[in-house]
């Protein structure tokens, strides 16, 4: 029998020694590795494990719908279909994209580009939309063949639809895909979200959008869902009711057909906007699905500027409409009384310059009532000189001119009420007498928007309250200030406005309606200082771009209800003849006269 050999007979690399050495090495190597993975890198791997199994899904909230005052839907949500892929589930992404191109008829190259772009912004195992809009026939085709193509799905998302098309485009605005800037500024937005870009959709975006919900779900290694729980429920956007009346709006659009202009109708006692027309218009639905570059260029290059929201953005000299402010200022400061008269012989001299009245032969002896009824310029030249530029400017501002009305629409322009200080600041030149003369008849630097004029007229008939124009029926009247004039003064002015409509010589007799108390003031805003050669010509003979803008500011009262109506026709020529019929049409619609709309 062999004898046991003591271990010291062996070199270190042989015999029982080797077993101990290996034991120590094993323990040390594996132990160090465990320490590294679990203690040193434990947090890193913990995060990786979380990413592995927890995924989140956004639950979209439906956008609030918008109705008019009579309950008709003017902005709603309809289902839209899109093709989406989950990259990780597609066995061969190129073959899948080929198939999608075949289904949808999209260009393969475009599809590849769209896919590559979206890839960077979607997480793994997340649905990535590759074709955003597909018609229902294509949906049906895909659905019937989809089981051959793992990873492909048809996603249904609500799409904004404006059933009235261009009728309300400037009020509603539209929604479209959020751009990079909007995404960066608003953490609530996700890639592919639609946001309000213009109009009420933009101004009241927060209320319409609602709040997205978030769902967390666990997945296994194959991406299969194992159960979920909601972190937040989605909150639907608020449904909004406009004060706007579609039949009235339609009448305004019809009256302005073929013209560039604006109509605003306010409830004079509440400030609610009953109609707000900007002509020409565009179809907001084009923007929802993504407008083409050519179409966009066509809209932008159109000489009539259909994208301009004229009721709030067209700031033009108010012309003779401004005489309402002048009259108020004159009476309130005591510069004139109702019986103060000025003799108009057709011209008025300031220094060495001569200013004409629009009626070359003159109006003869003119008092306040006649000055408004017949819109005598000389009367206001004299009044302007007596008041001084600063007083006029100050008074006009207190009437709410030169500042935004705060209507719930984006990009409203403030208009401008000039003053000597303003001119010095702006141009570095002194205010001269001629500037005062110009301002007195609403020309020169003073510019106003139709909605400002509407607010002013409303205040004249509602007891002097300057009200914020309200688009939503649910909004309560909001007094922004008071006209700086007494009840008596306002009554004198409004009575004179009625004379403009009712009496012989009035400039707005076209808007007279039996049984309704209608008052108005016409205005003609000069585009360029009329050149001699156009002075005697009829409107039709003057090139379009040199024609004057026509204004008509009116109020109507019946059965205790009062309305303010403003029509503005770009390059329309004379206020009474061009803007008058527009206001007339609105009155017919408002009071159910003439043909039913």
Partner 1 sequence: MMDRRLFSHVPWGLLVALALLFGIGAVNLYSASSLRLEDGLGVESYFRKQLVWGALGAGVFVAGVVVHYRHLKALAWPAYGLGVLLLLGVRFLGKTVYGAQRWLDLGPLHLQPTELVKVAIIIVVAKILSRMGGSLGWRELAKVVAVALVPAALIAKQPDLGSALNILLIVGGMIVFKGVRPAVFKTLAVGIPVLAPFGWFFLKEYQKQRILVFLDPTADPRGAGYHIIQSQIAIGSGGFWGKGFLRGTQSQLRFLPEKHTDFAFAVLGEEWGFVGSIFVLSVFCCFLYQIYLVTVEAKDDFGRCLAAGVFFYFFWQILINMGMVLGIMPVVGIPLPFLSYGGSSLLVNFCMVALVVNVAMRRFMFKR
In the complex, least distance from residue 223 CB atom to partner 1, rounded to whole angstroms? 11
Other Cβ atoms less than 10 A from the Cβ of 82: the count is: 19
Taking the C-alpha atoms of residue 249 and residue 74, their distance in angstroms, rounded to an integer, is 12
User: Binding to partner 1 by residue 119, rule CB under 8 A?
Assistant: no
Q: Give 27 or 427: the residue with its C-beta nearer to partner 1.
A: 27
User: Binding to partner 1 by residue 213, rule CB under 8 A?
Assistant: no
> How many chain residues bind partner 1 (CB under 8 A)?
43
Taking the C-alpha atoms of residue 220 and residue 532, their distance in angstroms, rounded to an integer, is 85
Q: Give 96 or 281: the residue with its C-beta nearer to partner 1.
A: 96
- Who contacts 417 (Cβ-Cβ below 8 Å, separation ≥6)? 393, 396, 397, 401, 402, 446
Q: Any catalytic annotation for residue 114?
A: no
- Determine which residue in the list 14, 70, 298, 530 makes contact with partner 1, applying CB under 8 A: 14
Q: Give 46 or 426: the residue with its C-beta nearer to partner 1.
A: 46
Contact between residue 450 and residue 565 where contact means Cβ atoms under 8 Å apart: no
Taking the C-alpha atoms of residue 408 and residue 415, their distance in angstroms, rounded to an integer, is 17
- Determine which residue in the list 33, 113, 121, 230 makes contact with partner 1, applying CB under 8 A: 33
Q: Give 34 or 421: the residue with its C-beta nearer to partner 1.
A: 34
Other Cβ atoms less than 10 A from the Cβ of 71: the count is: 8
Taking the C-alpha atoms of residue 299 and residue 253, their distance in angstroms, rounded to an integer, is 18
Question: What contacts 24+ positions apart, CB below 8 Å, involve 138-147?
Answer: 138/81, 138/103, 138/104, 139/81, 141/103, 142/83, 142/103, 145/103
User: Binding to partner 1 by residue 220, rule CB under 8 A?
Assistant: yes
Q: Give 87 or 211: the residue with its C-beta nearer to partner 1.
A: 87
Place of tokens 């990780």: 88
In the complex, least distance from residue 53 CB atom to partner 1, rounded to whole angstroms? 5
Taking the C-alpha atoms of residue 134 and residue 131, their distance in angstroms, rounded to an integer, is 7
User: Binding to partner 1 by residue 1, rule CB under 8 A?
Assistant: yes
User: Binding to partner 1 by residue 94, rule CB under 8 A?
Assistant: no
Question: What's the angle, vertex CA 115, arms to CA 114 and CA 118, rounded to 5?
Answer: 85
Q: Give 88 or 479: the residue with its C-beta nearer to partner 1.
A: 88
Region binding partner 1 by CB under 8 A among candidate stretches 89-97, 115-123, 212-220, 319-327 = 212-220
User: Binding to partner 1 by residue 225, rule CB under 8 A?
Assistant: no
Q: Give 35 or 546: the residue with its C-beta nearer to partner 1.
A: 35
The runs of H, that is alpha helices, within 399-510 are 420-427, 433-440, 450-461, 487-502
Place of tokens 């809009």: 133
Of 289, 292, 284, 343, nearest to 309 (Cα)?
284
Burial class (CB in 10 A: 0-12, 13-18, 19+), 352: exposed
User: Binding to partner 1 by residue 218, rule CB under 8 A?
Assistant: yes
Which residues in 37-66 contact partner 1 (CB under 8 A)? Answer: 37-39, 41-46, 48-49, 52-53
Interface mask toward partner 1 for 226-245; x: CB under 8 A: x-------------------
Region binding partner 1 by CB under 8 A among candidate stretches 20-28, 113-121, 159-167, 232-240 = 20-28
Contact between residue 435 and residue 423 where contact means Cβ atoms under 8 Å apart: yes
Q: Give 55 or 547: the residue with its C-beta nearer to partner 1.
A: 55
- Determine which residue in the list 133, 144, 197, 221 makes contact with partner 1, applying CB under 8 A: 221
The three-class DSSP label of residue 274 is: strand
Region binding partner 1 by CB under 8 A among candidate stretches 2-10, 242-250, 297-305, 507-515 = 2-10
Tokens of 316: 């033009």
Cα dist from 16 to 26, 66, 223, 430, 575, whole Å: 16, 89, 51, 111, 116
Q: Give 20 or 304: the residue with its C-beta nearer to partner 1.
A: 20
In the complex, least distance from residue 282 CB atom to partner 1, rounded to whole angstroms? 49
- Who contacts 470 (Cβ-Cβ below 8 Å, separation ≥6)? 243, 270, 271, 272, 273, 407, 408, 477, 478
User: Binding to partner 1 by residue 343, rule CB under 8 A?
Assistant: no
In the complex, least distance from residue 165 CB atom to partner 1, rounded to whole angstroms? 50
Report which secondary-structure segment, H or E, holds 584.
Answer: helix 575-591
Region binding partner 1 by CB under 8 A among candidate stretches 5-13, 106-114, 428-436, 497-505 = 5-13
Taking the C-alpha atoms of residue 263 and residue 421, their distance in angstroms, rounded to an integer, is 33
In the complex, least distance from residue 122 CB atom to partner 1, rounded to whole angstroms? 18
User: Binding to partner 1 by residue 29, rule CB under 8 A?
Assistant: yes
In the complex, least distance from residue 5 CB atom to partner 1, rounded to whole angstroms? 8
Catalytic residue among 114, 281, 320, 393: 320
User: Binding to partner 1 by residue 544, rule CB under 8 A?
Assistant: no
In the complex, least distance from residue 232 CB atom to partner 1, rounded to whole angstroms? 23
Report which secondary-structure segment, H or E, holds 353.
Answer: strand 353-356
Active site residues: 320
Contacts with partner 1 by CB under 8 A lie at 1-2, 4, 7, 10-11, 13-16, 18-20, 22-23, 26-27, 29-31, 33-35, 37-39, 41-46, 48-49, 52-53, 218-222, 224, 226
């Amino acid at each position: 029998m062999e004898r046991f050999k003591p271990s010291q007979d062996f070199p270190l690399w042989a015999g029982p020694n080797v077993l101990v050495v290996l034991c120590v090495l094993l323990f040390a190597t594996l132990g160090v590795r465990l320490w590294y993975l679990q203690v040193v890198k434990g947090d890193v791997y913990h995060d990786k494990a979380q990413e592995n199994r927890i995924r989140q899904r956004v639950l979209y909230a439906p956008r609030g719908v918008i109705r008019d005052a009579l309950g008709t839907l003017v902005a709603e949500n309809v289902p839209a279909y899109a093709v989406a892929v989950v990259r990780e589930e597609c066995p061969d992404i190129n073959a899948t994209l080929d198939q999608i191109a075949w289904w949808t008829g999209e260009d393969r190259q475009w599809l590849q580009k769209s896919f590559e772009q979206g890839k960077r912004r979607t997480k793994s195992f997340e649905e990535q939309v590759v074709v955003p809009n597909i018609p229902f026939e294509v949906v049906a085709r895909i659905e019937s063949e989809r089981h051959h193509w793992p990873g492909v799905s048809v996603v249904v998302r609500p799409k904004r639809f404006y059933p009235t098309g261009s009728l309300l485009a400037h009020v509603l605005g539209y929604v479209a895909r959020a751009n990079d800037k909007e995404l960066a500024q608003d953490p609530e937005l996700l890639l592919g979200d639609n946001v309000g870009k213009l109009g009420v959709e933009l101004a009241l975006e927060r209320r319409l959008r609602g709040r997205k919900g978030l769902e967390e779900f666990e997945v296994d290694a194959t991406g299969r869902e194992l159960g979920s729980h909601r972190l937040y429920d989605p909150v639907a956007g608020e449904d909004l009711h406009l004060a706007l009346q579609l039949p009235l709006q339609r009448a305004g659009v019809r009256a302005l057909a073929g013209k560039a202009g604006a109509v605003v109708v306010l409830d004079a006692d509440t400030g609610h906007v009953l109609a707000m027309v900007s002509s020409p218009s565009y179809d907001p639905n084009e923007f929802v699905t993504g407008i083409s570059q050519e179409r966009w260029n066509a809209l932008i290059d159109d000489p009539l500027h259909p994208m301009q929201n004229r009721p709030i953005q067209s700031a033009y000299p108010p012309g003779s409409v401004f005489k309402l402010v002048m009259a108020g200022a004159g009476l309130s400061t005591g510069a004139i009384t109702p019986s103060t008269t000025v003799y108009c012989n057709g011209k008025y001299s300031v220094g060495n310059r001569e200013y004409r009245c629009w009626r070359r032969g003159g109006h003869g002896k003119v008092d306040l009532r006649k000055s408004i009824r017949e819109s005598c310029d000389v009367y206001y030249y004299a009044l302007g000189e007596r008041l001084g530029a600063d007083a006029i400017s100050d008074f006009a501002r207190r009437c709410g001119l030169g500042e935004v009305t705060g209507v719930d629409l984006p990009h409203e322009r403030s208009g401008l009420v000039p003053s000597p200080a303003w001119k010095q600041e702006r141009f570095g030149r002194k205010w001269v007498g001629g500037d005062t003369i110009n301002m007195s008849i609403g020309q020169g630097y003073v510019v106003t928007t139709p909605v400002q004029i509407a607010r002013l007229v409303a205040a004249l008939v509602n007891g002097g309250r300057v009200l914020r124009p309200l688009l939503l029926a649910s909004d309560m009247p909001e007094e922004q200030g008071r006209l700086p004039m007494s009840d008596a003064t306002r009554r004198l002015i409004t009575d004179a406005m009625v004379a403009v409509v009712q009496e012989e010589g009035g400039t707005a007799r076209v808007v007279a309606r039996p049984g309704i108390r209608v008052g108005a003031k016409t205005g003609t805003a000069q585009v360029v200082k009329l050149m001699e050669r156009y002075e005697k010509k009829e409107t039709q003979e003057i090139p379009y771009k040199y024609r004057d803008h026509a204004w008509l500011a009116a109020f109507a009262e019946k059965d205790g209800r009062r309305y303010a109506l403003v029509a503005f026709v770009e390059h329309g020529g004379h206020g009474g003849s061009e803007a008058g019929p527009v206001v007339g049409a609105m009155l017919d619609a408002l009071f159910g006269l003439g043909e039913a709309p």
